[in-house]
Copies of this chain bind each other. A is one copy, B any other.
Amino acid sequence: MLRFQCDYQEGAHPSILKKMKETNYEQTAGYGNDPYCESARKKIRRLCNAPEADVHFLVGGTQTNFTVISAILRPYQGALAAVSGHINVHETGAIEATGHKVLALPSEDGKITAAQVREAYEAHWNDADHEHIVQPGMVYISHPTENGTLYAKEELQALSRTCRELGLPLFLDGARLGYGLMAEKSSLGLTDIAELTDVFYIGGTKVGALFGEAVVITNPALKKDFRYLIKQHGGMLAKGRLLGIQFDVLFTDNLYFDIAKGADELAMRLKAAFLEKGYGLRYDSYTNQQFPILPNEHLGKLKEKYSYGFWEVVDDSHSAVRFCTSWATKKEAVDALIADIEAL
């Protein structure tokens, strides 16, 4: 069985394991106060061109999302997000468990627009009874989105301008950030993202690490006491250096970017094969997640050799599914899959 189901089915890039082994008996302070975390922080600040940013390392995405969001919002505020946003659908209500409503905005492709944010904001404040309604307190976006789509630079600029005008911090969930940055259609670099958002994170779990997300806080107002929140929410790893080591390795010799680029290229080959075969695409993704629409009959055959994720029923005889590549996907696996698609 060759698995294309998700982008977290292998371990970590071997350089990471190697470094863990080399440093295994070193004694360091716990909780992120070690030289590896410090080194990784410096590299990230440099890459982001954000020398004043605070950088924190957390273990996973859901944890990072609710920790950041609970740091930003007042108790009666909610987070504006696409209806398909990870926080709205796939975190078992973790945001609500911290007391906050996710204010879902309609979205076809996983993105939201500056205009939608403004409209929601104005609808709230124009309501005579606004005190009876959850107040929009921030904006959450994912890049790439859960559908593999990307914000163009102008789109993120517009969102950023609107958010700053309205006083809404902009938080970018970068669980798959690498795959977004390195996509052939990408118009956004790390420095753009650091400049245009108030806080974002660089996903490690899905891009080469065993686990780990690097939170970058550029807005000074959001920095205060953030470590208390990490600890309270169970995100402060005792052996914090494990996170530092991983990000330090990933940001050495361009590794993070190179492995993400490789995964994107394999995904583009898959996409081409789907299109070649005449399949439709549920979303037009240029990143490592691809969402072709296949005849159920074809899916039945592929299933014998490949795993993929079911996405949604399209009609009686077709389904949208998800194929993911990752830093660990082998060229041979993609070759085999493409050959089998062509042969269907």
A295 at the interface (CB under 8 A from B): no
The stretch among A69-77, A148-156, A183-191 that forms the contact with chain B is A69-77
CB-defined contacts of A232 to chain B, threshold 8 Å:
62, 75-76, 91-94, 97
Interface residues on A, range: 35 or more
The A175-222 residues at the B interface (CB cut-off 8 A) are 205-206, 210-211
Shortest beta-carbon distance from A140 to chain B in Å? 15
Verify B27–A133 contact, CB threshold 8 A.
no
Residues 1-23 of A contacting B (Cβ, < 8 Å): 1-3, 5-6, 8-12, 14, 17, 20-21, 23
Tell whether A160 is near chain B: CB-to-CB under 8 Å: no
The one of B5, B211, B234, B328 that contacts A66, using a Cβ cutoff of 8 Å: B234
Stretch in A113-121, A236-244, A262-270, A274-282 with 4+ CB within 8 Å of B: A236-244
Question: Quick check: A76 and B225 within 8 Å, CB to CB?
Answer: yes
With both chains docked as a complex, state the minimum distance between the C-beta of A101 and any C-beta of chain B, in angstroms: 4
Q: Determine whether the beta carbon of B93 is less than 8 Å from that of A76.
A: yes
Whole-angstrom CA separation of A62 from B90 in the bound complex = 23
Q: Which residues of B contact A234 (CB under 8 A)?
A: 59-60, 62-64, 66-67, 94, 233-235
Binding site for B on A (CB under 8 A): 1-3, 5-6, 8-12, 14, 17, 20-21, 23-31, 59-64, 66-67, 70-71, 74-76, 78, 89-94, 96-102, 128-129, 131-135, 205-206, 210-211, 225, 227-229, 231-239, 242, 310, 328
Known: A17-B20, A89-B133, A211-B242. 11 other contacts (CB 8 A): A9-B29, A11-B25, A11-B239, A14-B21, A17-B17, A59-B234, A60-B236, A62-B232, A92-B131, A93-B232, A211-B239
**Would you mind naming 20 contact pairs between A and B with Cβ atoms under 8 Å apart?**
A3-B27, A9-B27, A10-B25, A11-B20, A11-B242, A14-B24, A20-B210, A31-B131, A59-B237, A60-B234, A61-B238, A62-B234, A76-B92, A78-B96, A93-B100, A94-B233, A96-B96, A97-B232, A131-B236, A205-B239
